[in-house]
Structure 1
Amino acid sequence: MEFFLAFRQPPDARDIYADPLKAQQISLAWKQYMGAMAAAGVMRAGTQLDPRNASTVRVRNGQRQVRDAPSPDEHALFGGYVVISVESLEVALHWAERSPSSSAGYTEVIPVVPTIRA
């Protein structure tokens, strides 16, 4: 089974990265976490995102509205994701629990719908 793990950081996360020592500690935690998933052979894809440069697009009354910022409806920044392949939801939840974002923000675990090929 594949699961999408969405890493959500608190809105003040970018302030934390301004401190070089804290940024180094957080980067090390992420490297260890990603390394553990790679070593276990469960990670299929993933990347870090830059929510500071996000744009939000909505269409209302046939008109496109663009906001050069993350969605104002979100209380947490979407900082990155991975797709993992594991045996069960319980195993996916275990990997989500180990994520550095679960301590500071949260990690969403979303099942991936298998692609149907014609």
Structure 2
Amino acid sequence: MKYMLIMRTTDEAAQSMADFDFTEMLETVGKFNDELIRAGVLVAAEGLDDAGDSVIVDYSSEPPVITDGPYGETKELFNGFYILNVSSKQEAVEWATRMPSFGAGFKTEIRRVPTIDEFPQDNEWIRRELAWREATGQL
């Protein structure tokens, strides 16, 4: 089963990261990533750029409204993710508890990533996506 570990932080916590030595931070995160790789559970992992540089597409009107981000009044920002292929939600939780944190204001949300075979296999769009995944080596 795949689970996404969504890294979240408050604005204040993100600002406090500027106080950390970047090389030390890379080493700490790198060691955790290496554990995930050696365990064979890492599928993907990425950090995100500053939310202040984001763009929001709001579909509540026609045409959609495009504004500079971050979205509305933020208390927490999504600033990166891991996708792990593990045997259970509990295993995903265990990995999340080992994830490096850089102080108060950091949280991780864990959500299962459904597989394509959970969708109706007789649907034309699902068949097309399956064909694309097979052609690109993703199956």
CA spacing shift, 1:96–1:115, aligned 2, 3 Å: same
Residue 45 of structure 1 is matched in structure 2 by 44
Counting aligned pairs with the same residue, the percent is 26
Give the distance between the partners of 2:110 and 2:12, measured in 1 at CA: 22
| Moved beyond 6 Å, runs of 4+ | none
Deviates more, 1:33-42 or 1:98-107: 98-107
Q: 1:101 to 1:71 in 2, by over 3 A?
A: farther
AA matched with 2:107: Y
Paired residue for 2:81?
81
- Aligned pairs, number: 117
User: Helix, strand or coil: the match of 2:92?
Assistant: helix
Q: TM-score normalized by structure 1?
A: 0.82
Contact 1:96 1:102 in 2 (8 A): no
CA distance in 2 between counterparts of 1:34 and 1:82 reads 9
The aligned counterpart of 2:113 is 112
Q: Which has the higher strand share?
A: 1
List per-residue Cα deviations over 1:53-102 (Å, max 9, x = no partner): 21111023313222212222542121111110111111000011112248
**Matched-pair contact (CA < 8 Å) for 2:2–2:83:** yes
Query: Is the Cα contact below 8 Å between 1:43 and 1:82 reproduced in 2?
Result: yes
Q: What root-mean-square deviation, in Å, do the aligned CA atoms of Structure 1 and Structure 2 show?
A: 2.2
Q: CA 1:102–1:9 in 2, change beyond 3 Å: closer, same or farther?
A: same
The structure number with the bigger radius of gyration is 2
Match of 2:26 in 1: 27
- The answer on whether the counterparts of 1:7 and 1:78 sit within 8 Å (CA) in structure 2 is yes
Work out the CA distance in 2 between the residues paired with 1:107 and 1:20. 20
Give TM-score scaled by structure 2 length.
0.72
Q: Letter of the aligned partner of 2:47 in structure 1?
A: Q
